Structure 1
């Protein structure tokens, strides 16, 4: 932006020092405030503006990557100043003043509007349920028929209308069901309190299982009609008898399948059974727990799109670096027709054991930290499991640990700023290891289920800058939007990534459009890379 003889040297030294020390500080619980592009870049910008006489508002208390000052303000400013050069400091100050003076109140108000839309839609369940079928076992026509029969019985039991089901136009192994809601449901006298996870599952079609019930009236008997509430405060004690006075969300009414004594008493029964059959939910969606077909996997559409972007082929060697709970791993295996080799790594021993229990053909599961999966030792690399030598895999999936802020529905999120800032560090380490493990010409897919700029677009920009041999490429089938501005990704690169932004459904879209199922999803991000010769990527 400024000529070299004008650029403050202290600024670049500051950035370098922060980059060098940031991982060390994070390990000690010290988190640096920053705004997307470079640690403390927004604070530095504020310091310079204050020096020139501008009054600066404090950074909002909510997540930094959701703040209006992020891509909304600094993105347009960066694009406006792009390519400009200034001979003097006065020229620079004059241009800044002109730009700010020409902004109206609506510009700043729009940031709050966009944030408000995002927060609103994250609290709502998607109005579509997506199912993945294994085409190695069944064809789509037969699958739709069997699922329809199951849904018909389910709707008879609950008294709900049947659900529309159709095949996705881009993915043959994806079926779509149209949900309904919100539906006005009156509250009844008897109330049952469930935990937040259970309540959010009910909003997506689940019944209430006994282990999710936190409180119920003393008089609760089998066959009673009850109103079900989710405990948003997470303060309800197990076994509560009186009406819960904390913050709670009404998710619908149902019929109790058990008495209170069967839930909490000495004669309590199998806690895995259904406790409340949801006959009048606020959102009507199919209960997926009743569809126990071996060829069927309930899966969010962006997760299905993620593995299709990877496009694994039979006979290849594929690495899934963060594999649990196994939905994407099983999809990779199915697309490979169970021919070839899949290495699935998961840091948690417990989650790795659950992954092994899926017994997926041609999948080798290892409880291992994927950030340590690379070795230069030929002897160590000859072993069956990790760590592995460079260029060991044809394709690598990095479905990275993330802040998960795109999950829907979500009425409460207690993630701390410290936790929020820990994820980009891990994600970057995983990407660097993945690039080394990938063969030349191989495919790498990076994905998250979050909406923050730093974990998505900025993470991709940082990776491309670090690894010039990794080229961002088109996913062939693109369902998501382009990436956000206000980061270091070029406009061309932003068109190659996929950002699933559910806040789009808050706009004036045709609610009857069949393509709405590609938009009304969880928040998600996908980037696809190919490993090339550095000269080819210049």
Structure 2
């Protein structure tokens, strides 16, 4: 599948906006075109995970509804829960009448990069570092058109309107910071919200990030992933690739902050950031450590609580989550052709296999291992599962429930009954209105 993506993805016209039918025909006429179109579109439903150790779902729901009512009045979108995931709240997209579909030629323009642009389409505001350029004489409280620079050629701090066939309109916003605040002090870069979005072409409510210790903005599949892991109070649980810590905190919340959750990441800066978010959880310990070296094979098994830092002896954990490094080709919307080179893409399955080789002996007999990625390639998803089942006969594939995605893709030599146990979020099947994601659940035989 990598070869197909590399062949056609760069030819996709203006990935920053939904592909028209005519554009799709220019790309390819086979099944890849719907995938490319889907990757360009913005998921419409916004999801929050409530920290039920601190706040009731009803209280956080009221907070969201009050924010929506203040901004959108009687046309506020619906806020609702999903069965089997009681800690999650969903927000519907806006009524189409509240979505500004076209730029107003009378307004000045602001440019952002494609990464910031994708966040805006998901409901974020523009923070100061995200502003690439602002026309001169733009005043506070002024409404502006917001564009994304898809090819990365807009000069930071430009004062004139940036003209390019590769910029795409995202919506309108209200200016909260002027040019001199954004660009005139390189020694002390500006922080905070620079432009408050009023409307976007995606139809997603522009609420900014309401995340706090009480609730977290998080994608549906990521929330489902930890529910599939199904952590239990008193267990020892390992999160092998933990940063930024969102799944780690979810694990701690589901076990009532009782037990032991070990979070590993090989980046010191990411662990520092993670520790700030996880400091209120007594069950979590985090370490800067390469999880491909997490096993101490010669060390004797240790009773609960006796190991203090990695590497760990065999059979140290009741449950293990491998939320593996991956190509990220499930992130939506994709606003530019920033696909990684083939050599980089092909490196991910190697890393994923190395993580498995550490995780399986670290898992106690009878334990649960969940493997997940935020990508859509078979090489990093179904192929890794097929390899793991062949490499480790002690692993048994089990149903990845609760089920909110579709089944896995059928592969030669991989039984259909097994692919149905997998959970894949993609352009077809149940809940296609999410990011791309993959979940597999294994049980280690006694």
How far residue 183 of structure 1 moved from its aligned partner, in angstroms, is: 4.4
Q: Which runs of 5+ in 1 are unaligned?
A: 1-34, 37-58, 67-108, 506-515, 534-538
CA distance in 1, matches of 2:291, 2:187: 42
In the other structure, the counterpart of 2:345 is 420
In the other structure, the counterpart of 1:224 is 142
Q: Helix, strand or coil for the counterpart of 2:406?
A: coil
State the Cα deviation string for residues 222-252 of structure 1 (Å, max 9, x = none).
1222111111112222111222234111101
In the other structure, the counterpart of 1:134 is 51
In the other structure, the counterpart of 1:168 is 82
How far residue 268 of structure 1 moved from its aligned partner, in angstroms, is: 10
How far residue 489 of structure 1 moved from its aligned partner, in angstroms, is: 2.0
* Comparing 471-480 and 394-403, the one that deviates more: 471-480
Distance 1:133 1:61, change over 3 A: closer
In the other structure, the counterpart of 1:433 is 358
Higher helix share: 1
* Comparing 170-179 and 238-247, the one that deviates more: 238-247
How far residue 168 of structure 1 moved from its aligned partner, in angstroms, is: 0.8
Q: Helix, strand or coil for the counterpart of 2:346?
A: helix
Output aligned runs, 1:36-51, within 5 Å: none
In the other structure, the counterpart of 2:288 is 367
In the other structure, the counterpart of 1:178 is 92
Relative to the length of structure 2, the TM-score reads 0.88
**Number of matched residues?**
420
In the other structure, the counterpart of 2:67 is 150
The answer (yes or no) to whether the contact 1:63–1:417 under 8 Å persists in 2 is no
How far residue 479 of structure 1 moved from its aligned partner, in angstroms, is: 1.4
Q: Helix, strand or coil for the counterpart of 1:471?
A: strand
Distance 1:474 1:224, change over 3 A: same
The answer (yes or no) to whether the contact 2:242–2:265 under 8 Å persists in 1 is yes
* Comparing 236-245 and 147-156, the one that deviates more: 147-156
Q: Helix, strand or coil for the counterpart of 1:357?
A: helix
How far residue 65 of structure 1 moved from its aligned partner, in angstroms, is: 11
How far residue 155 of structure 1 moved from its aligned partner, in angstroms, is: 3.6
The answer (yes or no) to whether the contact 2:210–2:216 under 8 Å persists in 1 is no
CA distance in 2, matches of 1:498, 1:65: 25
Higher strand share: 2
Q: Which runs of 5+ in 2 are unaligned?
A: 11-25
Q: 2:256 aligns with which of 307, 312, 337?
A: 337
Q: 2:404 aligns with which of 476, 479, 484?
A: 479
CA distance in 2, matches of 1:293, 1:62: 39
Output aligned runs, 1:70-219, within 5 Å: 112-155=29-72, 161-180=75-94, 183-188=100-105, 189-219=107-137
In the other structure, the counterpart of 1:260 is 179
How far residue 383 of structure 1 moved from its aligned partner, in angstroms, is: 4.9
CA distance in 2, matches of 1:440, 1:266: 58
Name the Cα RMSD after superposition. 2.6
